[in-house]
Amino acid sequence: MPRTQVAIVGAGPAGLLLAHLLRLRGIDSVVLERQSREHVERRIRAGVLEQGSVDLLASVGLADRLLAQRLVHTGVELLFDGTGHRIPLTELAGRELTIYGQHELVKDLVAARLATGEPLLFDAPVVAVEDHTGSPVVRYVHEGREVELRCDFVAGCDGYHGVSRASVPAGALTAIDHAYPYAWLGVLANVAPSSAELVYAAHERGFALHSMRSPTVTRLYLQVAPDEDLASWPDSRVWTELGTRLARGSGFALRTGEIVDKAVTALRGFVVEPMRHGRLFLAGDAAHIVPATGAKGLNLAVVDVAVLASALSRYYADGDESGLDSYSATCLSRVWRAQHFSWWMTSMLHRPPDEDPFARRLRLSQLRYLTSSHAAATSFAENYVGLPFPEGVP
């Protein structure tokens, strides 16, 4: 039977970055992905990277294209009452943000893995992860046959719907779930951004977000109901609603263009505790989901695998299991901070379906305080640009 030190389930950013970090430490791994390479490299996901994430990618040789093509942001705009208010993130918190499409990052990570010649298998769905507390076995199907892969550890980086977390015996983990009464209608458009920085709009008709992926591609979102019918949103209606929610007194004109992708995604908060069962370690969306409002999902995944790689390095170097034992607590501390910040931003910017005048005025009061208080803006900036990595994690 084939064998490796670490079996990595999932070839998204978390799994691919973990494989690279382990290789730099002399630790063997096999990466298994159920989808095709084309599918993985074209999935439209988040595009906001904290400076800590960029610094890590650069330090391990994965950021050449990112640094050449990224958009650097030093602030964001909060729009309400028809007026935009800029929060100078870098001035307040000393760190910047990078805009770089997650699918572009995945392309970089795939290319880096393939260049090493080490195993990265696409179209290889995992059907079972077994014996978490003994000598783990990962069973997967590839090229028409089932293969059993034995390993020392399994890293479940296969997302919320993946097999890794589902393979844990019932009752061994605690799942904490929160469904928000909102969804986002997200569109990707071949048009130059209408703003130099992200715009978060709190409008009486609901939330809107103007983001971007490149100088020629814009990413935009509208708050809709969780059960919204995508068919009821032709392109003309999308642009009209975006124009209404992003409007202000002067100085802004929404550019419109060809919409190449459109989808409705419900907002949710989800955390599983602990993020480990025996020799199975969960990372990224397999362990936690946050609303995209705070731009934390991809960045949390980066920290998860950085913590895990450091812990595995110490284990293989001298048998030290302390990092593995503290993995879950270390990651969850950051996860819950991100959950709270994302909940706070989501609650402040979205209009609940049953909002009364009292609740609306409370939300506006919070926005006015945030944009007029240096202390409040600094707290917002510190959370938005991302907290420092845990101690001892590069």
pLDDT top residue among 261 and 1: 261
pLDDT classification of 125: cutoffs 50, 70, 90:
very high
d(CA 178, CA 184): 16
Residue 47: pLDDT over 90: no
Of residues 229, 222, 183, the one with CA closest to residue 203: 222
What pLDDT is attached to residue 46? 76
Task: Write down the pLDDT at residue 251.
Answer: 78
Q: Which pTM value belongs to this model?
A: 0.95
Whether residue 291 is predicted with pLDDT greater than 70 in this model: the reply is yes
Position 45 confidence tier, pLDDT thresholds 50, 70, 90: confident
The answer for 318, left when phi > 0, alpha when psi is -120 to 50, beta otherwise, is alpha
pLDDT above 90 (res 53): yes
Q: Does the pLDDT value for residue 365 go beyond 70?
A: yes
44 pLDDT above the threshold of 80: no
* Residue 139, pLDDT above cutoff 80: yes
pLDDT above 70 coverage of the chain, percent: 100
Q: Does domain 3-47+101-173+274-352 have CATH number 1.20.140.10?
A: no
- Rounded mean pLDDT, 101-119: 95
What CA–CA distances, in Å, run from 121 to 7, 102, 136? Answer: 11, 20, 19
* Spatial distance between the Cα atoms of 111 and 351, rounded to a whole number of angstroms: 42
Question: What value does the mean pLDDT take over residues 123-129?
Answer: 97
* Residue spans of beta strands (DSSP E) within 286-387: 288-289
Q: What pLDDT is stored for residue 153 in this prediction? A: 98
Domain extents in the chain = 3-47+101-173+274-352, 182-266
Amino acid at 300: L
pLDDT digits (tens, 9 = 90+) for 81-104: 999 999 999 999 999 999 998 999
Architecture category of domain 182-266 in CATH: 2-Layer Sandwich (3.30)
Check if the beta carbon of residue 156 is closer than 8 Å to that of residue 282. yes
Instruction: Note the pLDDT of residue 1.
Output: 64
Cβ(223)–Cβ(182) below 8 Å: yes
Residue given tokens 């499409």 in the structure block: 101
pLDDT, mean over the chain: 96
Tokens for 80? 């309400």
